[in-house]
């Protein structure tokens, strides 16, 4: 917002009619259309609060429609922490435009001034009169139906009593969720519906050869359909119990032929040795194909001190508590698909190409699934359900992945290596900073030009080719997200290395490359602070000009100073601004290490600046949830595999954090009134990783450089 004017943002540029965003077809209710979906972040509650504050209508009277490609605005993916900044800004603009146009209409109708009007809950009345006009009356006029929202609108043209966005509210849909009324995609039920399960090969490179005919005879008598094309196999029945019961029986009756191994080398050896594309990352975060400068060496110069370090991060799962699912029906040559995909409009165009039909023949409806941050199996299962549906027309096909499907076939967050070198002068200032990241791609969402990114599209076509990814070059995109530090270092050498032919399928996991990059950066800053003998807070502040960033660090320092550090406990801090343009966050962690080398998280402090606060509790919930997830990544999570298959098939082989190791969390939200909304969902992960790494280093007196920080990994490094 500039003075009293609001820039309406990118979503309004694409959908600028007021009726794109609001439906006022029921008295006393405003129904919001948004192109963003609830994936655990409760964006609906935030959007309803924004609308309430700027229209003067009570929060309880505002609903948010589920995304439907027939009528919802296309706001791209619900990803990259852009929900509040894109959809929130759009709803704010639409709400202000509704209010402005409404008051202009009312004043004209009543032929009076604003002081002559009483306004309450969407109804304007002329003083000392029973005459009244409501938003819902206004919505019936041709004026309303033709309102176009401009790129910049006046914010305070008509003042109203604004509702408090920090009020305690009931989250949208929460009542239905806790009472069991809420319908997830897994729970959909239609007449004449078939339940489906997939029979997966042992790995990505296994071809279907044959199945025991006796099993086929047996299941046909039980009314179980066996569907096969290429190496894509599904079983279907009206009875869900039957498909679940016979899944393993049928799987064990199939012969596969493996065309190649996953890998004969361990993860980090492969990352280090495999072919790679190397790009220079410039100020601002753009990656370019330019000459990579030689790493500088300051040895022999007594004015400078240097240090080098390498950090390793393993493959990580999304770890959705509920497996992916979708429901599809093919009738009258059209598809209706229920999906929990984060990128429904992109998925629609991709499905039209994959299913060889026009986009007009496909409608996607958002149906909630298990909360997920990133590209899990939701797109894949939507394609699979739709593909099967074509062979069983006029029947709804409800396809649910199993836990093993989810663990073994989702696209993981890539493993990575971060190599850092830095040099300080006698004043303790960083005069040279080199940071190289080595990783597989973070972006393999299916697209019109890359249908093979549907894992089952490859199976359908017996396509076992391992393709090279193309490096993404946009600022802070993928592997090099947050590689460019927000700090002021006199000379920087930043390199992105996209490594090819790595063993596991990878794509977008929350923060993409930022978690590993920020964790490594913030850990190494503590190493350099120790080398300079400067307090970690002061060391960061000495290299930071950004006032909002400094305020967040100072706020964290103030929070932590109020809690006395206990004997036997150790603290660490981390800081970042997500993508150097979204929210700011600083994290403090206090932990202890047991005699059995287990890490107990005791306390956590978060300081966050996400611009103007639309919903204070929503920001806090997102930050605290992100801290818990990042803590789990640091301490427990790792996808394990051998040459033939994924070993982490279930929760017993993929450990996540438990309730017994959730720290006491204190969160401070800095409200920047009048500033743009900033995405908050992903900012906390990197600072949490840095804070845990630094606290652990303080506890052990030695830096542990390979995640997760399990007893085995810690002891291996301590004993080296």
> What are the tens digits of pLDDT across the range 338-380?
999 999 999 999 999 999 999 999 999 999 998 778 899 999 9
Asked whether the predicted pLDDT for residue 601 surpasses 80, the reply is yes
Residue 515 near residue 686, CB atoms below 8 Å? yes
What is the average pLDDT across 94-118? Answer: 94
Gap between the Cα atoms of 502 and 270, Å rounded: 7
Secondary structure (H, E, C), 45-62: HHHHHHHHHHHCCCHHHE
Per-residue pLDDT, 530:
98
Per-residue pLDDT, 159:
77
The CATH number for 230's domain is 3.30.365.10
- High-pLDDT (> 90) share of the chain, %: 88
> CA nearest 99: which of 162, 27, 165?
162
* Within-domain flag for 268: no
> Are residues 15 and 49 both part of a single domain?
yes
pLDDT band at 2 (very low <50, low <70, confident <90, very high): very low
* Within-domain flag for 229: yes
What is the average pLDDT across 236-252? Answer: 96
* Within-domain flag for 612: yes
Per-residue pLDDT, 82:
87
- High-pLDDT (> 70) share of the chain, %: 99
Per-residue pLDDT, 40:
78
> Are residues 426 and 443 both part of a single domain?
yes
> Are residues 581 and 551 both part of a single domain?
yes
Choice among 79-88, 142-151, 452-461, 598-607 with the minimum mean pLDDT: 79-88
Q: Which residues contact 332 (CB under 8 A, 6 or more apart)?
A: none
Range of the domain at 232: 192-260+318-409
pLDDT band at 429 (very low <50, low <70, confident <90, very high): very high
Q: Give the end of a domain, one of 374, 409, 444.
A: 409
Per-residue pLDDT, 167:
63
Per-residue pLDDT, 252:
94
Asked whether the predicted pLDDT for residue 163 surpasses 60, the reply is no
Per-residue pLDDT, 168:
75
Per-residue pLDDT, 162:
60
Helices (DSSP H) in 499-546: which residue ranges?
514-532, 536-542
Choice among 124-138, 379-393, 541-555, 574-588 with the minimum mean pLDDT: 124-138
- The per-type count for the chain, helices as H runs and strands as E runs, is 20, 27
Continuous segment of H or E residues that includes residue 389: helix 378-391
What is the average pLDDT across 409-429? Answer: 98
* Within-domain flag for 266: no
Asked whether the predicted pLDDT for residue 209 surpasses 90, the reply is yes
pLDDT band at 670 (very low <50, low <70, confident <90, very high): very high
pLDDT band at 4 (very low <50, low <70, confident <90, very high): confident
> Are residues 246 and 359 both part of a single domain?
yes
> Are residues 201 and 171 both part of a single domain?
no
Residue 607 near residue 615, CB atoms below 8 Å? no
Longest dimension (CA), the chain: 88
> Are residues 237 and 369 both part of a single domain?
yes
Pairing of strands 664-670, 152-154: unpaired
Gap between the Cα atoms of 538 and 135, Å rounded: 54
Helices (DSSP H) in 230-315: which residue ranges?
240-251, 267-273
Per-residue pLDDT, 5:
85
> CA nearest 439: which of 314, 525, 524?
314
End-to-end CA distance of the chain: 55
pLDDT band at 161 (very low <50, low <70, confident <90, very high): low
Choice among 174-188, 351-365, 516-530 with the minimum mean pLDDT: 174-188
* Within-domain flag for 265: no
Q: How many domains does the chain fold into?
A: 3
> Are residues 433 and 369 both part of a single domain?
no
> Are residues 370 and 454 both part of a single domain?
no
Residue 454 near residue 380, CB atoms below 8 Å? yes
Question: For residue 415, what are the CA distances in angstroms to 266, 292, 421, 523, 643?
Answer: 11, 23, 20, 18, 17
> Are residues 389 and 445 both part of a single domain?
no
* Structure-block tokens of residue 221: 């008598």
Q: Say which residue the tokens 């790792």 belong to.
A: 638
Q: Give the end of a domain, one of 385, 409, 433.
A: 409
> Are residues 427 and 285 both part of a single domain?
yes
* Within-domain flag for 367: yes
Asked whether the predicted pLDDT for residue 618 surpasses 80, the reply is yes
pTM over 0.75: yes
Three-state DSSP state, 320: coil
> Are residues 494 and 379 both part of a single domain?
no
Per-residue pLDDT, 181:
87
What is the average pLDDT across 54-74? Answer: 95
Q: Which residues contact 174 (CB under 8 A, 6 or more apart)?
A: none
Q: Give the end of a domain, one of 392, 409, 426.
A: 409
* Within-domain flag for 269: no
Q: How long is the chain? A: 720
> Are residues 390 and 429 both part of a single domain?
no
Per-residue pLDDT, 241:
96
Asked whether the predicted pLDDT for residue 195 surpasses 70, the reply is yes
pLDDT band at 21 (very low <50, low <70, confident <90, very high): very high
Question: For residue 10, what are the CA distances in angstroms to 83, 511, 610?
Answer: 12, 22, 18
Pairing of strands 664-670, 599-609: parallel
Q: How confident is the prediction for the chain on average, in pLDDT?
A: 95
Question: For residue 441, what are the CA distances in angstroms to 288, 445, 513?
Answer: 16, 11, 9
Asked whether the predicted pLDDT for residue 1 surpasses 60, the reply is no
């Amino acid at each position: 917002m500039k003075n009293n004017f609001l820039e309406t943002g990118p979503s309004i540029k694409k959908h600028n009619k007021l009726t794109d965003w609001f439906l006022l077809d029921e008295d006393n209710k405003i129904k919001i259309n948004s192109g963003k979906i609830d994936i655990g972040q409760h964006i609906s509650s935030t959007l309803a609060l924004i609308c309430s504050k700027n229209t003067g209508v009570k929060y309880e009277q505002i609903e948010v429609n589920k995304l439907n490609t027939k009528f919802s605005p296309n706001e791209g993916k619900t990803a990259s922490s852009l929900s509040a900044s894109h959809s929130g800004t759009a709803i704010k603009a639409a709400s202000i435009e509704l209010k402005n146009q409404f008051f202009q209409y009312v004043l004209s109708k009543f032929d009076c001034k604003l002081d002559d009007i009483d306004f309450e809950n969407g109804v304007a009345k002329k003083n000392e009169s029973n005459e009244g006009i409501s938003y819902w009356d206004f919505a019936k006029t041709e004026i309303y139906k033709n309102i176009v929202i401009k790129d910049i609108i006046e914010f305070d043209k008509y003042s109203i009593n604004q509702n408090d966005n920090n009020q305690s509210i009931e989250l949208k849909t929460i009542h239905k969720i806790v009472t069991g009324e809420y319908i997830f995609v897994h729970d959909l039920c239609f007449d004449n519906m078939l339940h489906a399960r997939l029979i997966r090969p042992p790995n990505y490179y296994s071809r279907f050869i044959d199945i025991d005919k006796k099993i086929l005879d047996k299941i046909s008598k039980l009314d179980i359909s066996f569907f096969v094309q290429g190496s894509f196999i599904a079983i279907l029945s009206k009875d869900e119990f039957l498909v679940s019961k016979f899944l393993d029986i049928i799987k064990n009756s199939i012969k596969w032929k493996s065309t190649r191994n996953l890998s004969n080398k361990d993860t980090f050896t492969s990352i280090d040795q495999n072919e790679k594309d190397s790009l220079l990352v410039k100020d601002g975060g753009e990656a370019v194909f330019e000459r990579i400068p030689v790493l500088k060496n300051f040895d022999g110069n007594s004015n400078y001190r240097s240090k080098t370090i390498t950090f390793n991060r393993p493959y990580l799962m999304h770890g959705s508590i509920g497996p992916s699912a979708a429901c599809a029906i093919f009738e009258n040559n059209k598809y209706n698909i229920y999906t929990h995909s984060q990128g429904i409009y992109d998925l629609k165009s991709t499905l039209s190409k994959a299913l060889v039909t026009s986009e007009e023949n496909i409608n996607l409806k958002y149906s909630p699934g298990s909360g997920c941050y990133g590209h899990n199996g939701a797109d894949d299962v939507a394609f699979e359900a739709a593909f099967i549906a074509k062979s069983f027309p006029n029947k709804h096909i409800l396809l649910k992945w199993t836990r093993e499907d989810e663990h073994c076939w989702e696209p993981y967050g890539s493993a990575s290596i971060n190599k850092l070198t830095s040099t300080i002068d006698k004043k303790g200032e960083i005069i040279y900073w080199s940071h190289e990241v080595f990783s597989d791609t973070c972006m393999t969402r299916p697209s019109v030009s890359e249908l093979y990114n549907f894992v089952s599209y490859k199976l359908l076509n017996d396509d076992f080719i391992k393709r090279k990814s193309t490096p993404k070059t946009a600022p802070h995109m993928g592997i090099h997200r947050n590689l460019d530090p927000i700090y002021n270092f006199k000379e920087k050498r930043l390199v992105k290395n996209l490594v090819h032919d790595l063993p596991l399928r990878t794509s977008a996991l929350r923060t993409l490359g930022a978690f590993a990059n920020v964790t490594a950066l913030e850990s190494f800053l503590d190493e350099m602070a120790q080398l300079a003998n400067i307090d970690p807070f002061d060391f960061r502040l000495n290299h930071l000009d950004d006032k909002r960033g400094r305020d967040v660090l100072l706020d964290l320092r103030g929070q932590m100073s109020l809690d006395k550090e206990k004997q036997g406990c150790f603290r660490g801090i981390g800081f970042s601004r997500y993508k150097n343009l979204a929210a700011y966050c600083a994290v403090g962690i206090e932990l202890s290490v047991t005699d059995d080398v287990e890490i107990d998280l005791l306390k956590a402090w978060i300081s966050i600046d996400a611009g103007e606060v639309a919903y204070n509790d929503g920001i806090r919930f997102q930050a605290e949830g992100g801290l818990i997830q990042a803590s789990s990544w640091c301490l427990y999570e790792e996808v394990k595999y051998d040459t033939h298959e994924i070993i982490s098939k279930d929760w017993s082989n993929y450990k996540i954090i438990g309730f017994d190791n959730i720290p006491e969390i204190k969160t401070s939200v800095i409200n920047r009134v009048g500033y743009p909304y900033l995405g908050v969902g992903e900012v906390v992960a990197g600072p949490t990783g840095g804070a845990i790494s630094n606290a652990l280093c303080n506890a052990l007196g030695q830096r542990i450089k390979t995640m997760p920080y399990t007893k085995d990994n810690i002891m291996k490094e301590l004993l080296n």
